[in-house]
Amino acid sequence: MSSDTTSHYRACHLCEAICGLEIKTRGDEIISIKGDKDDPVSRGYICPKATAIADIHNDPDRLREPVKRVGDEWVTISWDEALDLTAERLVGIQAQHGDNAVGFYAGNPGVHNYGNITHGTQLRRALKTRNNFSATSLDQLPHQLAAWAMYGHQFFLPVPDIDHTDLMVIFGGNPMASNGSMMTMPDAPGRIKALRARGGRLVVIDPRRSETAAVADQHIFVRPGSDAFVLLAIINTLFKEDLIRLNHLQDQLQGVAELAAAIEPFNCDLATQQSGIAAADIRQLANDLANTERAVLYGRMGVSVQEFGAVCQWAIQVINVLIGALDSQGGALLTSPAFASVRKGTPGGGHFDRFQSRVSGYPEFAGELPAAAMAEEILTPGNGQIKAMVSIAGNPLISSVNAGELETAFESLEFYVALDFYINASTRHADVILPPTGPLEHDHFDIAFLRLAIHNSARYNPPVFEPPAGSLHDWQIFNGLTERISALKGRDYRPLPAPDVVVDMGIKADIYGADANPEMALSMDKLKQYPHGIDLGPLQPGLSERLCTDDGLINLAPAFYLADLPRLLAASEQDGDALLLIGRRHVRSNNSWMHNYHRLVKGKPRWQLMMHPDDLKARGIDSDTQVTIESRVGKVTTTVIATDEVMPGVVSLPHGWGHQKKGVKMSIASQQQGVNCNELTDDKLLDQLSGNAVLNGVPVRVTAA
Residue 575 has pLDDT above 70, yes or no: no
Confidence of residue 2 (pLDDT cuts 50, 70, 90): low
Total count of domains within the chain: 4
How high is the pLDDT of residue 476? 98
CB 368 within 8 A of CB 133: yes
CB 66 within 8 A of CB 432: yes
From 145-159, 259-273, 396-410, 582-596, the region with the lowest mean pLDDT: 582-596
Average pLDDT over residues 314-324: 98
How far apart are the C-alpha atoms of 216 and 196, rounded to whole Å?
Answer: 9
CB 631 within 8 A of CB 581: yes
Of 489, 516, 537, which residue sits at a domain end?
537
CB 301 within 8 A of CB 181: yes
Average pLDDT over residues 570-578: 68
Is 145 part of any domain? Answer: no
Domain CATH number, residue 493: 3.40.50.740
How high is the pLDDT of residue 594? 87
pLDDT digits (tens, 9 = 90+) for 71-128: 999 999 999 999 999 999 999 999 999 999 999 999 998 999 999 999 999 999 999 9
Average pLDDT over residues 26-34: 96
CB 477 within 8 A of CB 66: no
CB 586 within 8 A of CB 671: no
Domain CATH number, residue 605: 2.40.40.20
CB 43 within 8 A of CB 648: no
Which among 214, 220, 334 is positioned nearest to 271, based on CA atoms?
220
CB 212 within 8 A of CB 178: no
Residue 11 has pLDDT above 90, yes or no: yes
Average pLDDT over residues 395-415: 97
Is 154 part of any domain? Answer: no
How high is the pLDDT of residue 233? 98
Chain Cα centroid distance, residue 95: 34
Q: How far is CA 430 from CA 408, 419, 471, 543, 664, in A?
A: 13, 10, 20, 46, 12
Q: Domain check: are 563 and 590 in the same one? A: no
Is 340 part of any domain? Answer: no
Is 156 part of any domain? Answer: no
Q: What is the DSSP string of 465-504?
A: SPPPTT---HHHHHHHHHHHHHHHTT--------HHHHHH
Q: Domain check: are 394 and 467 in the same one? A: yes
Q: Decide: helix, strand or coil at residue 95.
A: helix
Q: Domain check: are 560 and 578 in the same one? A: no
CB 426 within 8 A of CB 391: yes
Q: Domain check: are 301 and 407 in the same one? A: no
Which among 33, 29, 74 is positioned nearest to 434, based on CA atoms?
74
The pTM assigned to this predicted structure is 0.97
Q: What is the DSSP string of 17-83?
A: T--EEEEEEETTEEEEEEE-TT-TTTTT---TTGGGHHHHHH-TTS--S-EEEETTEEEE--HHHHH
Is 338 part of any domain? Answer: no
CB 24 within 8 A of CB 6: yes
Burial class (CB in 10 A: 0-12, 13-18, 19+), 681: buried
Domain range spanning residue 43? Answer: 6-58
Q: Domain check: are 27 and 75 in the same one? A: no
Residue 321 has pLDDT above 60, yes or no: yes
How far apart are the C-alpha atoms of 705 and 692, rounded to whole Å?
Answer: 32
How far apart are the C-alpha atoms of 475 and 441, rounded to whole Å?
Answer: 13
Q: Domain check: are 10 and 123 in the same one? A: no
How high is the pLDDT of residue 593? 76
Is 483 part of any domain? Answer: yes
Residue 1 has pLDDT above 80, yes or no: no
Q: Domain check: are 559 and 502 in the same one? A: no
Q: What is the DSSP string of 250-309?
A: GGGEE-HHHHHHHTTT--HHHHHHHH---HHHHHHHHHHHHHSSSEEEEE-HHHHSSTTH
pLDDT digits (tens, 9 = 90+) for 179-233: 999 999 999 999 999 999 999 999 999 999 999 999 999 999 999 999 999 999 9
**For the chain, how far is it from start to end, CA to CA, in angstroms?**
56
Is 1 part of any domain? Answer: no
Which among 338, 337, 343, 341 is positioned nearest to 524, based on CA atoms?
338
Average pLDDT over residues 606-620: 97
User: What per-residue string of b and e applies to 568-598 under the rule 16 or more CB within 10 Å gives b?
Assistant: beeeeeeeeeebbbbbbbbbbbbbbbbbbbe
Strand 625-630 relative to strand 650-652, pairing: unpaired
Residue 253 has pLDDT above 60, yes or no: yes
Q: Domain check: are 487 and 369 in the same one? A: yes
pLDDT digits (tens, 9 = 90+) for 163-179: 999 999 999 999 999 99
Average pLDDT over residues 271-296: 98
pLDDT digits (tens, 9 = 90+) for 480-507: 999 999 999 999 999 999 999 999 999 9
**How high is the mean pLDDT of the chain?**
96
How high is the pLDDT of residue 113? 93
pLDDT digits (tens, 9 = 90+) for 327-347: 999 999 999 999 999 999 999
CB 512 within 8 A of CB 522: yes
Confidence of residue 6 (pLDDT cuts 50, 70, 90): very high
How far apart are the C-alpha atoms of 79 and 524, rounded to whole Å?
Answer: 30
Q: Domain check: are 650 and 561 in the same one? A: no
Confidence of residue 655 (pLDDT cuts 50, 70, 90): very high
φ, ψ for residue 261 (rounded to 5)?
-70, -40
Is 193 part of any domain? Answer: yes
Q: Domain check: are 370 and 475 in the same one? A: yes
Domain CATH number, residue 303: 3.40.228.10
Strand 29-35 relative to strand 159-160, pairing: unpaired
Average pLDDT over residues 625-633: 98
pLDDT digits (tens, 9 = 90+) for 425-453: 999 999 999 999 999 999 999 999 999 99
CB 674 within 8 A of CB 70: no
Domain CATH number, residue 50: 3.30.200.210
How far apart are the C-alpha atoms of 641 and 613, rounded to whole Å?
Answer: 9
Q: Decide: helix, strand or coil at residue 237.
A: helix
Q: Domain check: are 559 and 523 in the same one? A: no
Q: Domain check: are 361 and 479 in the same one? A: yes
Residue 573 has pLDDT above 70, yes or no: no
Confidence of residue 590 (pLDDT cuts 50, 70, 90): confident
